[in-house]
Amino acid sequence: MKIKKKGVWKSWNENIQHSYENLYQITTEAELQKIIKESEKVRFFGNKQSSADIGAGINTLIDIRSYDKILSYNEEQKHITVQAGIKLVDLIEAVEAKGWCIPCLPDINTVTLGGALATGTHGTSGKLLASYVHTFRVILADGSLKEITEKEELMDAFRVSLGVLGVYSTVTFACETNYTLHVKEEPQKDSNWLESISTNLTKFDFLRILWLPHTGKGYQITGEKVPAEKEISENLGPKYLQYRRSFSKLLYKYTHIFPWITAIANKILGRLFFSSKRELKGSLYQATVTKSRGSTIELAEWTVDLAVFPQVFQELKKTINQWSNNSFIHIPMDVRFLEKDSSWLSYAYGKNTVTMGCVSRNASTADSYEAFKTIEKIFIKYGGRPHWGKRFEAKDAQLNEIYPKWSDFKKLRKELDPTNKFLNGYLKQVFNETT
Ligand SMILES: Cc1cc2nc3c(=O)[nH]c(=O)nc-3n(C[C@H](O)[C@H](O)[C@H](O)COP(=O)(O)OP(=O)(O)OC[C@H]3O[C@@H](n4cnc5c(N)ncnc54)[C@H](O)[C@@H]3O)c2cc1C
């Protein structure tokens, strides 16, 4: 185990920074247990890619990225067991090499598994990543080890835990047989994609809309499962599409000073990068997950009941198109769909849900990005739930209203961590604790 003394912890986009006294880079479960047991206060982190201030802010920190081995496979059950610091890219590649898949993947592969699970990371047309966990080995606040399997009710509390119930040590995933998707991408007017959501959710195995604010359009991505050998003439669109993110960054460079430039930039970006059709074939991972990002961003994301989404969308669209409130939004707003589940802090607890992302491509000026505040105000009004790893203001009282299991989760947290060992300043506010 390596130890770093007295330094500054910085999130990936450097928006969050905290000094620390001791930072441990662990490689074994025993090391993890020992530090947790012996620390009065401690936080642990993965790839530091959350926009919420949940990874550090305590004098003792644990970096779990070097605790990242694949431990075993169960061929019969299609189970894989890994250490929680593994990056998603390594986990997914190992799963695919077996001919298996995890059937719902986020649009990022650099995050750690532990970080992704703790914050309710998700993809589209399926369930949260955490829903596919079969077994956790967790280190609790007193340093003891607990195994939790999917048969136990406690599993629903632990699947999305914000890292406040304990540290996931190892994780066993229940995988499925891998499949091939025939993916089609095309621009659609807002009225078209919005009205066809229900039909498309039934018709397709994969549905995602990249909404293009201030343009009246979205870019719809659908996928159908096909036999792997089916011939498809792929059309990846013009070569210059690969420059979309860097070109966007350039156009948005001064939008923190002149936010209205965003509306014009979006029309240009829509024309250049979202007007052609594309068609491709591959596994869910190969055909739909972004493999690399050249620059940092700042993110918020809100989720709401599928049934009320059209109303929320119309209100959001109307609001951000009123130039007076300066709520201009960078391209794209990612619209995805989650099936209802039973994880206590899941966005889809008890209801089919739509998620809507909000991005600022200028990470360093995100504090002045009015859109983050506007989207929160609108979604909260409709009972919307914030993404745990992204930017939001809601605290205990509001969270209690939007998560039916909030008070049960708080009670369990207090039982498992009576001295608030795992709470940093931000999490204290979230859980309304003073110490
Ligand atoms: C470019 C980008 C794209 C994204 N795309 C998506 C997406 O498609 N879908 C989506 O839902 N989210 C998405 N996210 C959000 C991202 O998945 C989460 O913020 C995730 O938590 C980041 O993982 P990390 O390894 O960086 O975790 P960190 O940010 O380092 O940690 C996050 C939290 O997890 C806790 N934690 C870390 N390891 C453990 C562990 N072993 N046990 C318990 N708790 C632990 C930490 O204490 C902290 O509270 C995206 C983020 C970015 C920056």
Cβ atoms within 10 Å, residue 274: 22
Rounded distance, CA 338 to CA 94, Å? 25
pLDDT at site 291: 86
pLDDT (mean) for 282-309: 94
Give yes or no for a contact between 362 and 258, defined as CB atoms under 8 angstroms apart: no
- Asked if omega into 332 is within 30° of 0 (cis), the reply is yes
Sign of CA dihedral 95, 168, 346, 297: negative
Q: Residue 429 pLDDT more than 90?
A: yes
**Which ligand 1 atom is the nearest neighbour of the CA of 162?**
49
Query: Quick one: what percent of the chain has pLDDT higher than 90?
Result: 97
Per-residue model confidence as pLDDT tens digits over 303-342: 999 999 999 999 999 999 998 889 999 999 999 999 999 9
Task: Please tell me the CATH code under which domain 180-282+297-393 is placed.
Answer: 3.40.462.10
* Residue to mutate, 12, 32, 45, ligand 1, most ligand atoms under 8 Å from C-beta: 45
Q: Residue 294 pLDDT more than 90?
A: no
Ligand 1 centroid to 107 CA: how many Å?
A: 12
Residue ranges of the alpha helices (H) in 153-260? 154-158, 190-195, 197-203, 244-251
Query: Comparing 70 with 291, which gets the higher pLDDT?
Result: 70
Per-residue model confidence as pLDDT tens digits over 343-396: 999 999 999 999 999 999 999 999 999 999 999 999 999 999 999 999 999 999
Orientation angle between helical segments 261-273 and 244-251, nearest 10 degrees: 160
pLDDT (mean) for 274-294: 93
**Model confidence band, residue 37 (pLDDT cutoffs 50, 70, 90):** very high
What top-level class would CATH report for the domain 70-177? alpha beta
**Model confidence band, residue 262 (pLDDT cutoffs 50, 70, 90):** very high
Rounded distance, CA 220 to CA 288, Å? 12
Within 6 A (CB) of ligand 1 lie 43-50, 54-55, 64, 84, 106-108, 111-112, 114-116, 118-119, 121-122, 162-163, 167-168, 293, 297, 299, 387, 389
DSSP per-residue codes, 339-388? --B--TT-TTBTS-EEEEEEEES-GGGGGG-HHHHHHHHHHHHTT-EE-T
Q: Residue 122 pLDDT more than 90?
A: yes
pLDDT at site 217: 98
Q: Residue 151 pLDDT more than 90?
A: yes
pLDDT at site 372: 97
Rounded distance, CA 78 to CA 174, Å? 6
What top-level class would CATH report for the domain 2-63? alpha beta
Q: Residue 295 pLDDT more than 90?
A: no
Q: Could you state, in order of their start, the residue ranges of all structural domains in the chain?
A: 2-63, 70-177, 180-282+297-393
* Residue to mutate, 26, 63, 112, 298, ligand 1, most ligand atoms under 8 Å from C-beta: 112
pTM above threshold 0.95: yes
Number of C-alpha atoms within 13 angstroms, CB side, residue 228? 6
Ligand 1 centroid to 320 CA: how many Å?
A: 28
Per-residue model confidence as pLDDT tens digits over 231-241: 999 999 999 99
